[in-house]
Amino acid sequence: MMCQQCHMREANVHYTQIINGNKVEMYLCSQCAEEKGKFTFSPQLSLGSLLWGFGLGGGADYPGIGQQPVLRCNVCGMSFDDFKRMGKLGCPNCYRVFRNNLEPILRRLHGSTEHTGKVPAKLADEIKTSNEIERLKAELAAAIENEQYEKAAELRDRIRELENSGKNGGVR
């Protein structure tokens, strides 16, 4: 599709604006989009610069103050600064080496550091129940350790209820 502004270059920006319920769509080339002042494009945009643009870089660097030794992956040799620059890790071991640095980033981007993934629809209820039972068992152990026996009894009964509902196909 050609740019709707200059009609000379290929449109590579789709701009949608809704004003008072009226939707206006424009297809522009990057030059016309920049001239309109709506967009700016940087050819050096990388995943790393995008992540740090969200404020995940930790703020300004002050040379000489609180400097720590450069942490490097012992398998591929990548440093955390390399990751910040490129936006990707060098090998699976980097996740272990840079764990303390990556967890806040993942928590901010995804809301959690634990991968839950997708579950087949047919197994969703079964897996959800299984996860709930595991969570309740951990709570039960903590309640027993803290000598909260009434709470422990309630948790025990809830666990039995969930386990029995799974054995009977969900029918009571």
> pLDDT per residue over 75-91, tens digit each?
999 998 888 888 888 89
> pLDDT per residue over 11-29, tens digit each?
888 878 777 778 888 888 8
> pLDDT per residue over 37-74, tens digit each?
655 555 545 555 555 555 544 444 444 445 567 788 99
**For residue 140, what is the enclosing H or E element?**
helix 124-145
pLDDT for the residue numbered 151:
94
Q: List 23's β-bridge partners, or say none.
A: 18
pLDDT for the residue numbered 38:
55
Confidence band, pLDDT 50/70/90 cuts, at residue 31:
confident
Lookup: tokens for 130 = 């299984």
The mean of the pLDDT values for the chain is 78
Residue 141 phi, psi (nearest 5): -60, -40
Give Cα separations from 11 to 41, 72, 106, 166 (angstroms): 14, 43, 34, 56
pTM above 0.85, yes or no: no
pLDDT for the residue numbered 74:
92
